[in-house]
């Protein structure tokens, strides 16, 4: 893989203007590799190549697009163990999660392979005689994809797959923390029979390459997953060019635990949602809003569950929580622990840096109790293995607390009451609601996205992805009378 540098432009791997080191967060002595960083000229070359290739890709037809996406998805699923191991080594999630992420990425491609064949339009009757109308979907053109490090294969897959399925070209800027995953996915894509330049990997610094990409007039649409501040900057840049945007950003997901809940199930789902992936998920349950009648029993069991979780090397058997992704992320997490204490929250367990046989960015999962919804630890996305418990006196109070947020991505409720579950589904202001399930964990064939500061633009995934990756054309035809 020596030639696979982290930059792939116009059908070839090229050297970068500079390089970055990629180290294993489970073992800092493990150098995964050095990866290229593109400069402005290389980005411009990628955009030019994408524009040329997109025309040929659209002309290739739906069967070709189906076959290519099926091949990509099938290879990803077949290599889930191999690529998942590399992903876990690079990002820090336990091997089972890494393997599962790669397999899920393959499912996105096979799903959208079929969607390529289902890109059907409509016929309409005209109000004027002698005129026929058809409505069809066509590609938007060149799509810029900016993806995060926490799901370095799955998140780009659910963007790249529909982009290619509907006939677009792609310029992808992945996160600098996970370049090996980007290279592995790119290698599978570019080995297919596709036009040179249809798919371009341009790794580089966000302030240089990323900003130039989203400001480019050569880009027709931008799909971004990341933080709210960066999303707002991208939206401001895009509007100057009237570029179509789709953004998935922050979250502060609530899980309500009612007095009639199965407490063992509630604790299991809360711990899964709060600490899975080391809390580095946009769907993590970081606000646990618990009915006062079961509050103390729930908290006692949750703390026991958190303390029982095994924190260790991502590739070690039995590891349930790996390291956080970087030194900067760990420092930010520890700052939030200090902030929570300063705000008056009670730290019941965890929140400290851990030492392990290999030097890495390990942190004990933390539970805060006695928190209020106006505390910063309950208002800001922490992206950490930290969850905060809020006491509520009733279902109505719990729902009001849950909805009192700038975000609205996922939300859950634990209850045996059908009426509460139905009311919650209808009145929780979130894009995804879960009943007796963790807030984390979504299917690949249905829409994903949120409200408020969590999302902006059309939904991702499923058939709804067509709203972003295509543009609608209405054609009127007056064929005249036959001679």
Helix (H) or strand (E) holding 392: strand 386-392
Maximum pairwise Cα distance, the chain: 87
Q: Which of 91, 97, 282, 460 is catalytic?
A: 282
- Catalytic status, residue 432: no
Q: Write the CB contacts of 134 (distance below 8 Å, at least 6 apart in sequence).
A: 121, 122, 123, 124, 474, 475, 477
**β-sheet bridge partners, residue 41:** none
Q: How far, in Å, CA of 86 to CA of 250, rounded? A: 27
Q: How far, in Å, CA of 158 to CA of 166, rounded? A: 13
Find, among 446, 448, 472, the residue nearest to 458 by Cα.
448
DSSP type of residue 207? I
User: Residue 445 half-sphere exposure, CB side, CA atoms within 13 Å?
Assistant: 6
- Catalytic status, residue 388: no
Q: How far, in Å, CA of 94 to CA of 98, rounded? A: 6
Find, among 114, 120, 115, 124, the residue nearest to 137 by Cα.
120
Q: Which of 75, 97, 248, 381 is catalytic?
A: 248
What phi-psi label fits residue 10: left (phi over 0), alpha (psi between -120 and 50 degrees) or beta?
left
User: Residue 104 half-sphere exposure, CB side, CA atoms within 13 Å?
Assistant: 20
Residue carrying structure tokens 């489970």:
26
Report the SS3 class of residue 84. Answer: helix
DSSP type of residue 436? S
Positions marked active-site: 248, 282
């Amino acid at each position: 893989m020596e030639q696979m540098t982290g930059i792939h432009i116009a059908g070839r791997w090229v050297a970068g203007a500079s390089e970055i080191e990629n180290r294993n967060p489970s073992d800092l002595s493990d150098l995964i590799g050095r990866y290229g960083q593109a400069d402005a000229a290389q980005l411009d070359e990628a955009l030019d190549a994408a524009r040329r290739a997109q025309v040929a890709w659209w002309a290739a037809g739906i069967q070709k697009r189906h076959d290519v996406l099926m091949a990509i998805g099938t290879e990803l699923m077949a290599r889930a163990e191999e690529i998942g191991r590399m992903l876990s080594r690079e990002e820090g999630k336990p091997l089972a999660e890494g393997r599962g992420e790669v397999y899920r990425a393959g499912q996105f491609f096979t799903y959208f392979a079929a969607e390529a064949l289902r890109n059907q339009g409509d016929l309409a009757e005209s109000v004027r005689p002698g005129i026929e109308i058809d409505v069809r979907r066509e590609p938007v053109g060149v799509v810029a994809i900016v993806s995060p490090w926490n799901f370095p294969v799955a998140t780009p897959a659910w963007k790249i797959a529909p982009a290619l399925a509907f006939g677009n070209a792609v310029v992808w800027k992945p996160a600098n923390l996970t370049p090996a995953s980007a290279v592995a996915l790119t290698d599978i894509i570019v080995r297919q029979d596709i036009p040179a330049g249809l798919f371009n990997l341009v790794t580089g610094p966000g302030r240089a390459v990323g900003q130039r990409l989203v400001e480019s007039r050569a880009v027709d649409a931008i799909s971004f997953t990341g933080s709210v501040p960066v999303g707002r900057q991208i939206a401001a840049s895009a509007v100057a060019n009237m570029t179509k945007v789709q953004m998935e950003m922050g979250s502060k997901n609530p899980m309500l635990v009612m007095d009639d809940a199965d407490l063992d199930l509630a604790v299991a789902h809360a711990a899964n949602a709060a600490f899975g992936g080391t809390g580095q998920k946009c769907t993590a349950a970081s606000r646990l809003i618990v009915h006062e009648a079961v509050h103390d029993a729930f908290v006692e069991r949750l703390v026991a569950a958190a303390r029982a979780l095994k924190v260790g090397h991502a590739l070690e058997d039995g590891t349930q929580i790996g390291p956080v992704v970087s030194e900067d992320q760990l420092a930010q997490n520890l700052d939030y622990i200090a902030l929570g204490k300063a705000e008056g929250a009670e730290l019941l367990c965890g929140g400290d840096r851990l030492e392990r046989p290999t030097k890495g960015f390990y942190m004990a999962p933390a539970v805060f109790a006695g928190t209020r919804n106006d505390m910063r630890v309950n208002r800001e996305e922490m992206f950490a293995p930290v969850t905060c418990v809020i006491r509520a006196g009733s279902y109505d109070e719990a729902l009001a607390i849950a909805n009192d947020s700038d975000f609205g991505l996922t939300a859950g409720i634990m209850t045996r009451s059908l009426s509460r579950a139905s009311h919650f589904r209808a009145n929780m202001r979130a894009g995804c609601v879960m009943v007796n399930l963790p807030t984390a964990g979504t299917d690949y064939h249905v829409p994903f996205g949120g409200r408020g500061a969590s999302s902006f633009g059309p939904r991702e995934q499923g058939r709804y992805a067509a709203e972003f990756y295509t543009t609608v054309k209405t054609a009127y035809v007056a064929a005249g009378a036959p001679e």
